Amino acid sequence: NAGVMQNPRHLVRRRGQEARLRCSPMKGHSHVYWYRQLPEEGLKFMVYLQKENIIDESGMPKERFSAEFPKEGPSILRIQQVVRGDSAAYFCASSPSQGNEQFFGPGTRLTVL
C-alpha cells in the first residue's frame, strides 16, 4: 500500500511564475490536508479537502493560493505569481476520515528565486 505521494519533491520558480504541487493520498483515504512549513518555523494548516469539495480553507492566504481535489486525479495546490516569501516546504497529509491520524507525504520544497 503506497503512502502519500507528492510531486515534485523540489520545485524552483522565479518570482511571478506559477507553482503547481500535486498530492495523491493513500489508497482508501478521501480526506486531504495541506500544510506549509516556513524555514525555522512549525507546520501550519492551509486547507482541507474531500473529493470535489473544499471543506476548510481558513489557513490559505487570501490571494494567489488555490487548491482542488478533483473526482479523478491528485489534489493540486496552486500558487500564482510566486514571491520569495512563498519559499517553504509544502506537506500533504491524508486520512481515512475526519479526526483520524493523518499520514504525511514527503513534501514539496519550493524555492522562489
Partner 1 sequence: RKEVEQDPGPFNVPEGATVAFNCTYSNSASQSFFWYRQDCRKEPKLLMSVYSSGNEDGRFTAQLNRASQYISLLIRDSKLSDSATYLCVVNLPNQGGKLIFGQGTELSVKP
Query: Looking at this protein, which amino acid is placed at residue 41?
Result: E
Among 41, 62, 63, 84, binds partner 1 (CB under 8 A): 41
Which residue from 35, 31, 50, 36 is spatially nearest to 99, judged by alpha carbons?
31
- 33 sits near partner 1 (criterion: CB under 8 A): yes
Check residue 28 and report its DSSP letter.
T
* Amino acid code (one letter) for 78: R
The correct pick among 37, 66, 87, 111 for binding partner 1 (CB under 8 A) is 37
Q: How far apart are CA 40 and CA 74, in angstroms?
A: 29
Q: Residues 78-107: x/- map of binding to partner 1 (CB under 8 A)? A: -----------x-x-x-x--xxxxxxxxxx
DSSP state of 50: E
Question: Site residues (CB under 8 A) for partner 1?
Answer: 31, 33, 35, 37, 41-45, 48, 55-56, 58-59, 89, 91, 93, 95, 98-107
